[in-house]
């Protein structure tokens, strides 16, 4: 026969039971207890301050196993301006040793000439195409084709977009570095602008068949060789 334990209503007021429940509650809180330490250590890198952030997290009774588990995480990145300002407030001597990243000056010097070159090539191509249209004698055909070239030319729109990307990259280089606009983001933006300028240059070289064939052959052969 299976025995059953029947409890009356008095168990709720039992002092021993209440003390047992309090002990169980404390054990649950202890099992969920942990503490974490987060430390940010700055040190000069090659050109810019590097921030080594590391933290230690200790869990008591990890997963109900009765063991104490600790975990160490770390990350090495370039310090943002916000992190540097906080560190400089703690140690003013660091402010006199701030490094200037050369990329902040190199990116505008590279982006702005690319922008001017793309604009010059687009203007020259546009003038050549419109000059070729004026050689036709049909007035109606001239007007229709001028509208198509002047307003619906996809390459002209592409060049304007490339100029906008390059100008944005140059402006990003001048702004202060933070977590949303760090050096890696600026390099990526520069790469996109340079790639768009390269495509524009390839189109411009179509007017010179020898150079166009040479550049196009190299652009297709080099990635395969690498």
Q: What is the pLDDT of residues 23-72, one digit of tens each?
A: 555 555 555 556 566 666 666 655 566 677 777 776 665 555 656 666 77
Rounded CA separation 123/117 (Å): 10
Comparison of pLDDT for 1 and 177, the residue scoring more: 177
The answer to whether 169 and 189 are in contact (CB under 8 A) is yes
The answer to whether 102 and 47 are in contact (CB under 8 A) is yes
Q: What is the pLDDT of residues 147-194, one digit of tens each?
A: 444 545 677 777 778 777 877 777 776 665 555 556 667 777 778 877
The answer to whether 140 and 147 are in contact (CB under 8 A) is no
Tell the residue number behind the tokens 């770390």, with chain if given. 74
SS3 of residue 44 by DSSP: strand
Domain ranges in the chain?
33-97, 103-225
Comparison of pLDDT for 1 and 126, the residue scoring more: 126
Q: What is the pLDDT of residues 210-225, one digit of tens each?
A: 666 766 776 776 666 5
Rounded CA separation 190/171 (Å): 11
pLDDT of residue 200: 72
Q: What is the pLDDT of residues 86-132, one digit of tens each?
A: 666 556 555 544 444 555 566 666 666 766 776 676 677 667 666 65
Strands (DSSP E) along the chain, which ranges? 34-44, 49-59, 69-78
Nearest of 203, 129, 189 to residue 159 by alpha carbon: 203
Comparison of pLDDT for 134 and 58, the residue scoring more: 58
pLDDT of residue 148: 47
Residue 2's pLDDT band, with cuts at 50, 70 and 90, is: very low
Rounded CA separation 63/71 (Å): 14
CB atoms within 10 A of CB 41: 12
Rg (CA), the chain: 34
């Amino acid at each position: 026969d299976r025995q059953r334990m029947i409890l009356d209503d008095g168990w709720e007021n039992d002092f021993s039971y209440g003390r047992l429940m309090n002990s169980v509650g404390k054990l649950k809180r202890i099992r969920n207890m942990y503490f974490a330490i987060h430390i940010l250590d700055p040190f000069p890198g090659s050109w810019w301050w590097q921030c080594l952030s590391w933290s230690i997290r200790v869990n008591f009774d990890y997963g109900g196993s009765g063991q104490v588990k600790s975990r160490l995480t770390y990350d090495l990145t370039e310090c943002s301006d916000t992190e540097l300002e906080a560190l400089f407030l703690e140690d003013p001597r660091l402010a006199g040793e701030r490094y200037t990243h050369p990329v902040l000056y190199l990116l505008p010097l590279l982006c702005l000439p690319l922008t001017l070159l793309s604009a010059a090539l687009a203007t020259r191509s546009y003038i050549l195409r419109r000059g070729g249209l004026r050689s036709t004698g049909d007035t109606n055909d001239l007007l229709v084709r001028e509208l198509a070239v002047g307003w619906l030319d996809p390459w002209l729109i592409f060049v304007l977009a490339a100029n906008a990307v390059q100008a944005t990259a140059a402006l990003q280089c001048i702004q202060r570095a933070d977590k949303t606009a760090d050096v890696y983001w600026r390099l990526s933006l520069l790469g996109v602008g340079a790639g768009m300028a390269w495509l524009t240059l390839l189109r411009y070289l179509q007017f010179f068949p020898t150079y166009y064939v040479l550049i196009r052959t190299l652009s297709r052969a080099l990635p395969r060789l690498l």
